[in-house]
């Protein structure tokens, strides 16, 4: 489905090392005349790291989208009754967030946004970024992949020879994933290795 003029939510959780790629996709979305709303988890809205300061990320989100970021559970809840999003993407989605989403826990603005959005049977896109995707979180990812209206940005192992259980999404595939999710379809293949197979690295 064409995403021009769609209302799209982008929710950030605490995988700060992937924020640069997430913001690159956020900027790409503006070229489609989308109305974009951002949501920040409590940690992503408050923790400063070597990848940047929280206030700067929030400011940048506003500058790109021209919409005030959603920073509280109270402000995320109306996403349900007002049903103003066509699609919501959690990018990046940490293992912590995936585990809570899988088990119906709603203790952050992002999780409330996801719960509220799913009540409308609208597509939720997950761009995974977790160091235990092939470990403790594997069962949660599997369960989410079998839930109605949830779609994944294709992902693969992140530095498999150093971090054997880590999974990370190919964020450059966010837009085609969203386009198909709006049609109720999953972009395939879902699993794509992010490293160079020819070199075996």
CATH number at residue 139: 3.40.50.1950
pLDDT per residue as tens digits for the range 14-41 = 888 899 999 999 999 999 989 999 999 9
- Whether residue 104 is contained in a domain is answered as yes
CA 41 to chain centre: 11
Would you state the structure tokens that stand for residue 200, as one six-digit string?
A: 């075996």
Report whether 137 contacts 95 (CB < 8 A): yes
- Whether residue 19 is contained in a domain is answered as yes
Q: How many domains does the chain have?
A: 1
Per-residue pLDDT of the chain (201 residues; tens, 9 = 90+): 999 999 999 999 988 889 999 999 999 999 998 999 999 999 999 989 899 999 999 999 999 999 999 999 999 999 999 999 999 999 999 999 999 999 999 999 999 999 999 999 999 999 999 999 999 999 999 999 999 999 999 999 988 888 999 999 999 999 999 999 999 999 999 999 865 444 433
pLDDT per residue as tens digits for the range 99-114 = 999 999 999 999 999 9
- Whether residue 201 is contained in a domain is answered as no
- Whether residue 198 is contained in a domain is answered as no
User: What are residue 35's DSSP bridge partners?
Assistant: 7
- Whether residue 1 is contained in a domain is answered as no
- Whether residue 196 is contained in a domain is answered as no
Distance CA 134, CA 166 (A): 6
CA 123 to chain centre: 12
Structural domain that includes position 74: 7-181
- Whether residue 190 is contained in a domain is answered as no
- Whether residue 119 is contained in a domain is answered as yes
The chain-wide mean pLDDT, for the chain, equals: 93
List CB contacts of 76: < 8 A, sequence separation 6 or more. 39, 70, 109, 110, 112, 113, 116
């Amino acid at each position: 489905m064409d995403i021009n003029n769609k209302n799209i939510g982008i929710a950030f959780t605490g995988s700060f090392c992937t924020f640069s790629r997430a913001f690159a996709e956020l900027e790409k979305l503006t070229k489609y005349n989308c109305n974009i709303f951002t949501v920040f988890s409590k940690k992503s809205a408050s923790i400063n790291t070597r990848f940047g300061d929280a206030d700067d990320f929030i400011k940048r989100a506003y500058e790109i989208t021209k919409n005030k970021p959603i920073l509280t559970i109270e402000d995320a809840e109306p996403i349900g009754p007002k049903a103003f999003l066509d699609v919501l993407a959690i990018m990046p989605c940490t293992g912590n967030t995936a585990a809570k989403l899988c088990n119906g826990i709603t203790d952050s603005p992002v999780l409330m946004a996801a719960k509220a959005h799913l009540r409308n049977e609208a597509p939720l896109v997950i761009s995974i970024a977790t160091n235990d995707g092939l470990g403790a979180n594997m069962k949660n990812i599997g369960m989410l992949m079998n839930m109605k209206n949830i779609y994944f940005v294709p992902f693969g192992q992140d530095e498999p020879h150093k971090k054997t259980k880590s999974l990370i999404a190919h964020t450059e595939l966010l837009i085609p994933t969203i386009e198909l999710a709006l049609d109720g379809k999953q972009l395939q293949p879902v699993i794509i290795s992010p490293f160079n197979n020819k070199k075996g690295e």
